A = this chain, B = another copy of it.
Amino acid sequence: MRLSRYFLPILKENPKEAEIVSHRLMLRAGMIRQQAAGIYSFLPLGKRVLDKVCDIIREEQDRSGAVELLMPTIQSADLWRESGRYDAYGKEMLRIEDRHERELLFGPTNEEMVTDIFRSSVRSYKDLPLNLYHIQWKFRDEVRPRFGVMRSREFLMKDAYSFDLDFDAAQTAYHRMFVAYLRTFTRCGLKAIPMRADTGPIGGNLSHEFIILASTGESEVFCHRDFLDLGVPGEDVDFSDAGSLAEIVREWTMPYAATDEMHDTAAWDALPDAERMAARGIEVGHIFYFGTKYSEAMNAVVTGPDGKDTPVHMGSYGIGPSRLIAAIIEASHDEAGIVWPKSVAPFDVGLINMKPGDADCDAACETIYGELEKAGVEVLYDDQDTRAGAKFATMDLIGLPLQVIVGPRGAKAGEAEVKDRATGERETIPLASVVARVTA
């Protein structure tokens, strides 16, 4: 992509309204724009990151056996009356009346609708297990939306819903998602730690929040150092092997880990100092087994092997991709701007033409640009006639993993500079080696 044909509205000043670093950097890097309180546009650079994050989430959901569909944003109030949540949900629900005075709402979540889809077509235990997910915009009318897309009113959510015949099968479904989440966050370049969450009236221990560690995180978390060395399952993990999934979950839930809310001071104090890690974190996912709460209320039953009808056991599993992007930035930035993990970077490489109009620079850049594109590398080519300082500042701000810098002297000498954004290391290499270096 040539910068001259792109839409990248960089802000030079720090926006006053941004209280946290991810909000500030997303605004400054031209990734998002506020359209109303807690409602944002994803500008082209932000949209690209959103797509990358969603692709990773989708791949890992699919790998675990979940099936993607797409439910609408607008739901009928009647459906929520069946579960009793229409009145219970309170003011966070955006309630709407259509031209015929029918009561609608902008979905804050989809338990009711997915249960309705399930009960309309699934009859037998033979059709289980089933896990349906979608990635769709949700709306929660927060009193004080803030922190940009970290806590917005309209936000993207991946929500998956599992359906199983009994508790044991539901537990395995839960384990599948647990493992899929470990893989998802790792692929996004994050260190995520599952922490036990409140299960309320459901009870049991099948509710975990996934917290990523970030020095600027919103909340205090407490965990065992062992987490730093725990391995994340590879892509060959066998999602049909309930035993090995359970073992992975066991391993990842054994060391002490707690959010401030669930913190057990006595257990914490009992740990040797050297094993304790008090840190800051951001919640990026939540998985939850809630049994037959909705299936009983909404009569979603299947016929079991014994010929009897039984309400299905369900769980729900959420990740907020828009919020996740903010969390990635909180976890990976420096003074100069964002430092994208490769897997979610909006482009792989920034190619900087230091002097557009200079024949050597232009020729070298055009060649490199063409070859990189041909090699399938995503390049943002700064072909604009602006000051060197502004070019460098913009490239650092938007945080692409690699920069290729071509100046008139270097181009004449047949050389370019390659800069690693994360380490700041620079090296000068022959123009002819740039593609090999970048694709290495």
Q: Considering the chains assembled together, what is the distance between the CA atoms of A240 and B186 in angstroms?
A: 42
How many whole Å from A243's CB to the nearest CB in chain B?
20
Q: Quick one: which of A31-77 are within 8 Å of B by CB?
A: 33, 35-37, 39-44, 46-47, 50, 65, 67-76
Q: A9-B121, A116-B35 are in contact. Are A70 and B94 (CB under 8 A)?
A: no
Most B CB within 10 A of own CB, among A6, A70, A106, A139: A70
Most B CB within 10 A of own CB, among A5, A6, A69, A76: A69
Task: Kindly state whether residue A98 has any CB partner on chain B within 8 Å.
Answer: yes
Task: Kindly state whether residue A174 has any CB partner on chain B within 8 Å.
Answer: no
**With a CB–CB cut-off of 8 A, which chain B residues contact A37?**
102
Chain A, 65-102, contact with B by CB distance < 8 Å: what is the 0/1 string?
A: 10111111111100100000000000110101011001
* A74 with B106: CB separation less than 8 A: yes
**With a CB–CB cut-off of 8 A, which chain B residues contact A39?**
72, 74-76
Task: Kindly state whether residue A381 has any CB partner on chain B within 8 Å.
Answer: no
**With a CB–CB cut-off of 8 A, which chain B residues contact A154?**
72-74
Q: Considering the chains assembled together, what is the distance between the CA atoms of A68 and B130 in angstroms?
A: 34
| Number of this chain's copies in the complex | 2
Task: Kindly state whether residue A120 has any CB partner on chain B within 8 Å.
Answer: yes
Q: Considering the chains assembled together, what is the distance between the CA atoms of A35 and B136 in angstroms?
A: 15
* A69 with B36: CB separation less than 8 A: no
Q: Quick one: which of A115-152 are within 8 Å of B by CB?
A: 116-117, 120-122, 130, 132, 134, 137, 139, 141, 143
Q: Considering the chains assembled together, what is the distance between the CA atoms of A152 and B7 in angstroms?
A: 32
Task: Kindly state whether residue A113 has any CB partner on chain B within 8 Å.
Answer: yes
* B141 with A98: CB separation less than 8 A: yes
Q: Considering the chains assembled together, what is the distance between the CA atoms of A331 and B225 in angstroms?
A: 62
Task: Kindly state whether residue A104 has any CB partner on chain B within 8 Å.
Answer: yes
* B44 with A137: CB separation less than 8 A: no
Q: Considering the chains assembled together, what is the distance between the CA atoms of A138 and B331 in angstroms?
A: 34
How many whole Å from A128's CB to the nearest CB in chain B?
10
**With a CB–CB cut-off of 8 A, which chain B residues contact A141?**
98-99
Q: Considering the chains assembled together, what is the distance between the CA atoms of A65 and B1 in angstroms?
A: 10
Most B CB within 10 A of own CB, among A40, A72, A141: A72
Nearest opposing residue in chain B for A71, CB measure: B41
Q: List 6 A-B pairs, Cβ < 8 Å.
A: A33-B117, A37-B102, A42-B69, A74-B139, A94-B96, A96-B106
User: A: which residues have CB within 8 A of B?
Assistant: 5-7, 9, 30, 33, 35-37, 39-44, 46-47, 50, 65, 67-76, 79, 91-92, 94, 96, 98-99, 102, 104, 106, 113, 116-117, 120-122, 130, 132, 134, 137, 139, 141, 143, 153-154
